[in-house]
Structure 1
Amino acid sequence: MAATDPVERDDPRARAARTKRDRTRRALLDAADASFGSHGWADTRMEDVAAAAGVSAATAYNHFPSKHALMGAVYGPMVRPLVGQAERDVALRRPVVDALTDQIRALARISERHRRLTASFWSAVEEYTIKVGGPPDPADESDPRTLAPVPTPLRILIEHGQCTGELRPFPSALDVSGMIVNLLLLRSINRPHEPAEHTAELLLTALFGMLRPELLAEAGPHGHPFRSAAGPDRRTDGALREG
């Protein structure tokens, strides 16, 4: 029931029930964030999250149908601001190379600042993908890929760049965004101490090597066109603070 529902506005009991539900959900998300971030995916159980939140396991499953859904709900708020930023950049016709560079660097910073949580998210995605055996279904409320659509801002920008001719049309935006995000998530596990700047440089080199190879060619055989000595980009850093 929406907060603006007339019945809820007029019924104090309905408002109290809604407030209780919201508080319980917030407590579960906070407990899950702490547990996934410290113990990892395999060693976090729904029962432990429920106990840490001060509720029963049945209550936890009433809010989140599975541990996969809980992981997606924890990671999603770090991704959604980046989707909004990508949509704004397209609307403003911002150069796609600049927009993609900011997005990749923001994702690399999220991974660095939330390394164990990102590794847990990758484990959840891998396990769920094997379980369902296919791409994410937008109607599946348990799929962490749907709840935290990490490739989506990259896909939006790549599709736009391919339509405007700023990027090569092959490979497809769907394929490239998926490959880049898979590489990012894998490095959260395999390179746990890698600085965000280095991760971003590798991802940008792979991305534009496929879609804008002249950027690499113009830098010469020893060039590093995507190496950044600057601090975090402020356009997308709000997403990090929300995470």
Structure 2
Amino acid sequence: MAASDPTPLDDPRARAAQTKRDRTRRALLDAADATFGARGWANTRMEDIAAAAGVSAATAYNHFPSKHVLVGCVYSPLVHPLLIQADHDVRTDRPVVDALTDQVRALARISQRNRKLTAAFWSAVEEYTIKIAGPPDPGDDIDPRTLAPVPQPLRVLIEHGQLTGELRAYPTALEASGMIANLLLLRSINHPDEPAEVTAELLLTVLFGMLRPELLTDAGAQARPFGHVH
């Protein structure tokens, strides 16, 4: 190639094509967000999302090979800030009880504000888990569990707390974070009108009942230490 030949990034046609791909992808994500939220997982087809985005089904499948991928990509931006916060809390050695409490309350708010989308995401996770009959594989880039790793911020903090001795070593961070995330997502289906603070109190009681039970026992049998946001 001669030095004067344009590289793909310098080629106006390549830039225009990339801009079109980006716009189409964005339109599909926006359409999926709205359609999953309105119709749920079972009643939404890729064809419905494509039509809402104004593209063909073939184009939709070219960008996202399945509904599982699409709902994972839609949910991912809701999880990403929590991962950043968890990493920051670990780096700054924030007390793990405070960090986990804020994380769980944030997760509950996200679920409540996006209840129908969360229910659709959970349905996709359950369906995909049954399909592959196994835990998430970090190398599987079409698994909604890896695209939007809801338990991961909790796992990061729990692992840190177990290393510092702030939390009990059992159950493992992997198991504990998975149980809390599963309970959160399940309640998006079984208790769709539950306020976020009610969900958060339940999740925190279960979490610290496993990993820091003295927070509950020291408060007394009738106390509810996670019932208020201070």
Instruction: Say how many residue pairs are matched.
Output: 225
- Is 1:27 paired with 2:27? yes
Which residue is 1:137 aligned to?
A: 137
TM-score calculated relative to the size of structure 2: 0.96
Which ranges of structure 1 fall in alignment gaps of 5 or more residues?
A: 1-5, 231-243
In the TM superposition, what is the alpha-carbon distance from 1:9 to its structure 2 partner? 3.1
Cα displacement (A) at 1:227: 1.2
Q: What corresponds to 1:239 in structure 2?
A: none
Q: How does 1:78-157 map to 2 (within 5 A)?
A: 78-157=78-157
For 2:217 and 2:8, locate their aligned partners in 1 and report how far apart those are by CA, in whole Å: 62
- Which residues of 2 match residues 8-87 of structure 1 at below 5 A? 8-87=8-87
The equivalent residue for 2:180 is 180
Measured against aligned partners, the alpha-carbon deviations of 1:66-86 in whole angstroms (never above 9, x if no partner) come to 010001000010001100100
Identify the structure with bigger relative contact order (alpha carbons < 8 Å, sequence gap 6+).
1
- Measured in 2, the distance between the counterparts of 1:9 and 1:190 equals 49
Counterpart CA distance in 2 for 1:96 and 1:114 is 27
Letter in 1 for 2:117: L
* Equivalent position amino acid for 1:50 in 2: A
Moved more, 9-18 or 148-157: 9-18
The equivalences for 1:193-212 within 5 A come to: 193-212=193-212
- The CA distance in 1 between the partners of 2:198 and 2:174, in whole Å, is 24
Q: Report the counterpart of residue 3 of structure 2 in structure 1.
A: none
SS in 1 for 2:225: coil
Q: Runs ≥4 in structure 1, deviation > 2 angstroms?
A: 6-9
In 2: Cα distance, 1:43 partner to 1:222 partner: 44
Cα distance between partner residues in 2 of 1:178 and 1:229: 24
Distance 1:69 1:104 in 2: 25
Shift of 1:112: 0.5
Name which one, 1 or 2, has greater alpha-carbon Rg. 2
Give the distance between the partners of 1:10 and 1:20, measured in 2 at CA. 16
- State the partner residue of 1:191: 191
CA–CA distance in structure 2, aligned partners of residues 229 and 97 of structure 1: 14
1:234 maps to none
The amino acid across from 1:159 in the alignment is: E
- Give distance in 1, aligned partners of 2:122 and 2:95: 30
User: Compared with structure 1, are the counterparts of its residues 229 and 140 closer, same or farther at alpha carbon in structure 2 (3 Å cutoff)?
Assistant: closer
1:229: how far off?
Answer: 4.2
User: How big is the alpha-carbon RMSD for the aligned residues of Structure 1 and Structure 2?
Assistant: 0.9
User: Aligned partners of 1:120, 1:74: CA distance in 2, in Å?
Assistant: 11
- Structure 1: distance between partners of 2:120 and 2:58: 23
2:164 counterpart letter in structure 1: T
